[in-house]
């Protein structure tokens, strides 16, 4: 059966002709990974099935991960792509089987851990990032789950490979990326701010990983609702906390951590990316170059066990819900969007008010509505979005000006945040008139980023980006 190929050189013969496929090793929103044993050599591999159906027909974007992995396939610091197959339903990647498991899991199983171990792990990751960044690639999802140990040996925690390039992007020369990508706790401030960003966004994520390895807890977390209610903590969203860039070296967790290690973390968790260490600069830091303490850090290991247990305890449903919310609300929303502050809404309004008139017309409102709803699980119908914007102006335009001012926009915004689901009449496939159906073109929005002009921006324009 013929079908449109995502990857031109992919094999179209059944993968089962060459591999015995068995147990499922992992499952995510877009892919399933199974164990495959090559029949001719008996060698084991990881076989990743990426469903085309999850990409709304925009098959060109689906090949992004493959091209990126081929770019770095010779690096000893990333999971290697061995071969590519394709069927009518799936793009199938044959990858090195990394049998040592996740880094954090291995450390907990090992039962002992030192500052020197952290230094060795950081060096391995930095060597990988340096190769990736040299090719103008940003990983954009550096987190514990994507750091895998090669060897099953319980004591081998420093042979680490970077995995999962599904959120990555390869940038044209002298361009920066735009768009919210990654896992919330590891996303850099410039991404939350919707500013153009480069490879140093990965360095922030690495700083968060280093912080956890040394301290046993996340540097940036939303406050406990009970503490907020009791007046012990200020009610802030994760994005606001990350943008502020304030964290604490708690005495109990950090009293046996060297000043050198703390300095390493400080120089990665810098809000201004221009002042943040690059991968090459971080490799030259004394924490990586020098000798670190080999003393077992029992208390830190206990904290890491608790962190890891909490991370693993989350149900699949909770993870999917969080991912969907991130996609829907982008930098405009949050897990506590219903309590969005007026100052934050004002910032959104000012960004949308392109001509500085103090009000939003239909096109300005349409644009900001797309941003509020973007990266949802459905595609938008552009004509319906324009109609929706016009209807919202009609509903919230109290003075009959044909535009909405800030107070009117704030009312609309809060209404949307109270119920952030995409209105049915905005979705692709929503019923329209016969005339609209014949003239409307169906353009799917990709759930993955690409290196197209829509996801990159010239570096020269970064100085004018909104804060």
Q: Decide which of 300 and 230 is more confident.
A: 300
Half-sphere exposure of 451 (CA within 13 A, CB side): 20
Query: Does the domain made of 103-313 have the CATH classification 1.10.510.10?
Result: yes
Q: Across residues 354-364, what is the average pLDDT?
A: 84
CATH number for the domain running over 330-432: 1.10.238.10
> CA 444, 334, 329: angle at the middle one, nearest 5?
15
Domain with CATH 3.30.200.20 in the chain: 15-96
Query: Do 456 and 178 meet the contact criterion of CB atoms below 8 Å apart?
Result: yes
Q: Across residues 72-79, what is the average pLDDT?
A: 88
Catalytic residue among 56, 96, 141, 381: 141
Residue 432: pLDDT over 50: no
137-152 core/surface letters (b: 16 or more CB in 10 A; e: else): bbbbbbbbbbbbbbee
Domain with CATH 1.10.238.10 in the chain: 330-432
Query: Do 20 and 39 meet the contact criterion of CB atoms below 8 Å apart?
Result: yes
pLDDT by residue (tens digit) across 117-163? 999 999 999 999 999 999 999 999 999 889 998 888 767 766 899 99
pLDDT by residue (tens digit) across 30-60? 789 999 999 999 999 999 998 887 765 556 6
- Token pair 């003075």 is found at 399
- In this structure, CATH architecture of domain 15-96: 2-Layer Sandwich (3.30)
Distance CA 262, CA 211 (A): 9
Output the CA–CA distances (angstroms, integers) from residue 182 to 48, 192, 218, 333, in the order listed.
20, 10, 16, 15
Domain with CATH 1.10.510.10 in the chain: 103-313
Is 256 one of the catalytic residues? Answer: no
C-alpha torsion 322→413→343→217, nearest 10 = -10
Provide, rounded to the nearest whole percent, the portion of the chain with pLDDT above 70: 72
Q: How confident is the model at residue 366 (pLDDT cuts 50, 70, 90)?
A: confident
């Amino acid at each position: 059966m013929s079908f449109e190929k995502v990857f031109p050189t992919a094999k179209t013969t059944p993968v089962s002709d060459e591999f015995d496929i068995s147990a499922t090793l992992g499952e995510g929103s877009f892919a399933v990974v199974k164990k495959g044993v090559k029949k001719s050599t008996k060698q084991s591999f990881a076989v990743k099935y990426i469903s085309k159906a999850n990409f709304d027909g925009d098959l060109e974007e689906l090949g992004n991960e493959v091209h990126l992995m081929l770019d770095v396939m010779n690096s000893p610091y990333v999971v290697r792509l061995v071969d590519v197959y394709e069927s009518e339903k799936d793009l199938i990647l044959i990858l090195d089987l990394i049998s040592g498991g996740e880094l954090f899991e291995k450390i907990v199983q090992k039962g002992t851990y030192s500052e020197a171990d952290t230094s060795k792990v950081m060096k391995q990751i930095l060597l990988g990032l340096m190769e990736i960044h040299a090719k103008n690639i940003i990983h954009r999802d550096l987190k514990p789950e994507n750091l895998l140990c090669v060897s099953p040996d319980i004591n081998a925690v420093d042979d680490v490979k970077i995995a999962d390039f599904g959120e990555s992007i390869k940038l044209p020369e002298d361009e920066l990326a735009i768009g919210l990508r990654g896992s919330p706790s590891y996303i850099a401030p410039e991404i939350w701010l919707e500013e153009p960003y480069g490879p140093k966004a990965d360095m922030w994520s690495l700083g968060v990983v280093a912080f956890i390895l040394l301290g046993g807890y996340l540097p940036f977390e939303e406050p406990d609702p009970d503490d907020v209610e009791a007046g012990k903590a200020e009610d802030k969203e994760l994005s606001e906390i990350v943008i502020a860039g304030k964290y604490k070296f708690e005495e109990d967790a950090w009293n046996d951590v060297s000043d050198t290690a703390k300095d390493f973390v400080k120089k990665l968790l810098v809000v201004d990316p221009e002042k943040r260490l690059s991968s090459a600069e971080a490799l030259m830091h004394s924490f990586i170059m020098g000798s670190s303490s080999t003393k077992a850090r029992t208390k830190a290991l206990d904290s890491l066990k608790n962190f890891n247990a909490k991370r693993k305890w989350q149900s699949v449903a909770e993870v999917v819900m969080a991912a969907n919310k991130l996609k829907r609300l982008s930098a405009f929303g949050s897990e506590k969007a219903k309590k969005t502050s007026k100052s934050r809404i004002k910032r959104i309004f000012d960004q949308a008010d392109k001509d500085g008139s103090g009000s939003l017309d239909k096109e300005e409102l349409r644009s900001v509505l797309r941003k509020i709803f973007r990266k949802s699980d459905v595609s938008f119908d552009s004509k319906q979005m324009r109609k929706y914007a016009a209807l919202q102006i009609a509903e919230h335009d109290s003075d009959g000006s044909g535009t909405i001012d800030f107070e009117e926009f704030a009312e609309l915004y809060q209404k949307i945040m109270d119920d952030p689901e995409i209105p049915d009449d905005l979705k692709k496939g929503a019923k329209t008139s016969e005339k609209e159906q014949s003239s409307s073109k169906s353009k799917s929005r990709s759930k993955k980023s690409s290196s197209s002009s829509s996801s990159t921006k010239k570096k020269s324009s970064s100085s004018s980006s909104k804060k």
